[in-house]
Amino acid sequence: MIEFFLEQKARVDASWRLAKRHALFRQEMDLMSLQRLLKATGTYAYQTAVLGNPVYAPYIPRALRRAARVLFRLGRFPALQEAFEEIIAPALLEWERAATEANRQ
């Protein structure tokens, strides 16, 4: 979808034909995606843990996995990457293991 947008934009604006412009757009898109995914995860967690609304719980692992992909693709936030590797990734694995066991029963 991003590639389609960039192609269409380049048709009407010659400056968008530059690879540098494409790279900058993708980087900014990744930054925005990371921010939105982390915000969504916080909202899902709040709804689940504080308000007791379990409807959002299944969305937490998916949002975190997507955020991790974007985070590591960006390669700009080593402390956050470390937190994902040491804290969040093991928690996700445990969460998914528990969900799999619960589905078996």
**Span 84-91, mean pLDDT?**
95
Query: Which range marks the domain in which residue 97 is found?
Result: 22-104
Number of compact structural domains in the chain: 1
| Helix, strand, coil percentages for the chain (3-state, nearest 5) | 90, 0, 10
Helices 19-49, 59-74: crossing angle, 10 deg rounding: 150
> Residue 8 falls within a domain, yes or no?
no
7 in any annotated domain: no
Per-residue pLDDT at 15 exceeds 80: no
pLDDT digits (tens, 9 = 90+) for 40-66: 999 999 999 999 999 999 999 999 999
pLDDT at 19 over 80: no
Overall pTM surpassing 0.85 (yes/no): no
Residue corresponding to tokens 């994902």: 84
**Cβ–Cβ contacts within 10 Å for residue 31, how many?**
14
Please tell me the predicted confidence (pLDDT) of residue 39: 98
pLDDT of residue 80 exceeding 90, the answer is yes
Distance between CA atoms of 20 and 22, rounded to whole angstroms? 5
